[in-house]
Amino acid sequence: MIKQAHPKGLYLLFVTEMWERFSYYGMRAIFVLFMVKALMLDKAHASGIYGTYTSLVYLTPLIGGYIADRYWGNRRSIIAGGLLMAFGQFMMFFSGSLFSHSIGTATTLMYTGLGALIAGNGLFKPNISSMVGQLYPAGDKRVDAAFTIFYMGINAGALLAPLVCGTLGDTGDPHDFKWGFLAAGCGMLVSLVVFTLLKNAYLVTPEGRAIGMAPTRSTDASGHAKHEPLTRVDYERLAVILIVSLFVIFFWSAFEQAGASLTFFAEEQTNRNLLGFVVPASYFQSINPVAIVLCAPIFAWLWTRLGTKGIEPASPTKMAIGLFLLAVGYLVIAFGVDGLQPGVKVSMMWLFSLYLLHTFGELCLSPIGLSLVVKLSPVRFTSLMMGIWFLSNAAANKFAGVLSALYPDPKMAPPVFMGHTINNLHDFFMLFVVMAGIASLILFVLSSKLKKMMHTTA
């Protein structure tokens, strides 16, 4: 009989991921502002660096997943990745400490830190996610709920990060950015210490067998590893992961404007005066994780309720709904800035509404996608396929940087995208409405076919 309570290992992974995400989002909340205000880069250049960094952060999990599946296992990969990321954050601290003495040295330190963060994340991210599913027996109905809980951990860290690192670093004085980076580094150390101390006690299967260890492979007489061949069902399930991953690119490339163009919008054209207190632009990135923590249980209840009535949408349909809600979010803010002149500031409610709708879209797409990868992947390919899932995030984040560079600047000539001139903020935000809306429609059309290829009721 399957126990209904979730294993303690889930909450260890929750806390480990929470502090790692605190580190990542804390640095991200002030990164573009640091480049513009301290290193004196223009917005387009800063957006390009931001997009390259965040895309590579999601590209390297493909390599990290392969290393874990074939050589190191999840545990060793997570520890090595965490150490690299802590080193990277402290390099960012030194960059923020030295820019006033030598921008060249500070820039070199920044790139060194980014390189360590990229490599470390590649080892950490796919392995912490794939371990969630290993805590449960095959076919356990609690896996979707487990990923919802795990996803709340991600967003608890993302919630705290801009508040702490933004308060310390985004003060209006560029010399204070270093304190935000230092806090991000300390968060990564907390994640490492918690995981290292508790992993042996709690990361086990229901039968008590340790998970995440280095792989052991049986061999034939000639010394070659033996594997069960993939079946037609396996190939169709893998194809579903790949197809859905393509649509995820359109979601995250628009969603990840939070760390770039939407931060510029919050800084320059949002009235941030709240009862005499000027809200730092970086604080707006906490709206999404706050809403995730509050709304994730509601969405988990909703899917369960619809499931008991036999009308729960299939995973690809849920993800299409997520894309649609993303498009609606940009449609709302496009309406809010229609006719807005440079220098004129709008109410914070426009950004709040956008982030709230994007949160609803994210809850329909991201935890559902993570769960889908675990459920559809053959066991020996789980971390690798999780890396491929994050590969779509890599492409999306690079594309996000390209799109953020189109943010209109009255001091510059209007940017052009695919023959269309971006004359103002309304044009800029409508670009995402069209892009996400079309992707949503296509995925809705394909959903029934993808559900058949999944060979499951998920």
Chain-centroid distance, C-alpha 229: 33
- In this structure, which CATH number among 4.10.80.400, 1.10.540.10, 1.20.1250.20, 1.10.3720.10 belongs to the domain 8-202+230-454? 1.20.1250.20
Average pLDDT, the chain: 86
**Cβ count within 10 A of residue 115:** 16
From 184, 225, 7, select the one nearest 96 (Cα to Cα).
Answer: 184
Q: Are strands 420-421 and 277-278 parallel, antiparallel or unpaired?
A: unpaired
Contact status, residue 361 vs residue 323, Cβ threshold 8 Å: yes
**Cβ count within 10 A of residue 305:** 11
pLDDT digits (tens, 9 = 90+) for 68-105: 888 898 899 999 999 999 999 999 999 999 998 999 99
pLDDT band at 458 (very low <50, low <70, confident <90, very high): low
Contact partners, residue 138, CB within 8 Å, separation at least 6: none
Q: Can you tell me the distance from the alpha carbon of 85 to that of 83, in angstroms, rounded to the nearest whole number?
A: 5
Contact partners, residue 234, CB within 8 Å, separation at least 6: 378
Query: What is the three-class DSSP state of 204?
Result: strand
Looking at per-residue pLDDT, the higher value among 273 and 443 belongs to 443
Q: Can you tell me the distance from the alpha carbon of 211 to that of 209, in angstroms, rounded to the nearest whole number?
A: 6
Contact partners, residue 152, CB within 8 Å, separation at least 6: 14, 292, 293, 296
Q: Are strands 420-421 and 416-417 parallel, antiparallel or unpaired?
A: antiparallel
137, HSE (Cβ side, Cα atoms, 13 Å): 9
DSSP assigned state of 340: P
Asked if pLDDT for residue 5 goes beyond 70, the answer is: yes
Q: Can you tell me the distance from the alpha carbon of 104 to that of 271, in angstroms, rounded to the nearest whole number?
A: 35
Least confident of 33-37, 39-43, 225-229: 225-229
Q: Can you tell me the distance from the alpha carbon of 436 to that of 324, in angstroms, rounded to the nearest whole number?
A: 7
Q: Can you tell me the distance from the alpha carbon of 391 to that of 385, in angstroms, rounded to the nearest whole number?
A: 9
Least confident of 45-59, 137-151, 407-421: 137-151
Burial state string for 124-136 with b = 16 or more CB within 10 A and e = fewer than 16: bbbbbbbbbbbbb
Can you tell me the mean pLDDT for 41-60?
84
Query: What is the three-class DSSP state of 114?
Result: helix
**Cβ count within 10 A of residue 330:** 24
pLDDT band at 441 (very low <50, low <70, confident <90, very high): very high
Asked if pLDDT for residue 65 goes beyond 90, the answer is: no
Q: Can you tell me the distance from the alpha carbon of 186 to that of 78, in angstroms, rounded to the nearest whole number?
A: 17
From 210, 215, 199, select the one nearest 13 (Cα to Cα).
Answer: 199
pLDDT digits (tens, 9 = 90+) for 151-192: 888 888 888 888 899 889 988 899 999 999 999 999 999 999
pTM score of the predicted model: 0.77
Q: Which token pair is 306?
A: 């619809």
Q: Which token pair is 96?
A: 């923020």
Q: What is the pLDDT of residue 308?
A: 76
pLDDT digits (tens, 9 = 90+) for 320-361: 999 999 999 999 999 988 888 777 888 899 999 999 999 999
Contact status, residue 122 vs residue 204, Cβ threshold 8 Å: no
pLDDT digits (tens, 9 = 90+) for 212-255: 888 776 544 444 457 678 888 989 999 999 999 999 999 999 99
pLDDT digits (tens, 9 = 90+) for 363-399: 999 888 888 888 888 877 887 888 888 888 888 878 8
Query: What is the three-class DSSP state of 333?
Result: helix
Sign of CA dihedral 167, 169, 172, 173: positive
Cα separation values, 70 from 81, 175, 263, 270, 398, Å? 16, 44, 40, 49, 28
* Residue at 190: amino acid letter: V
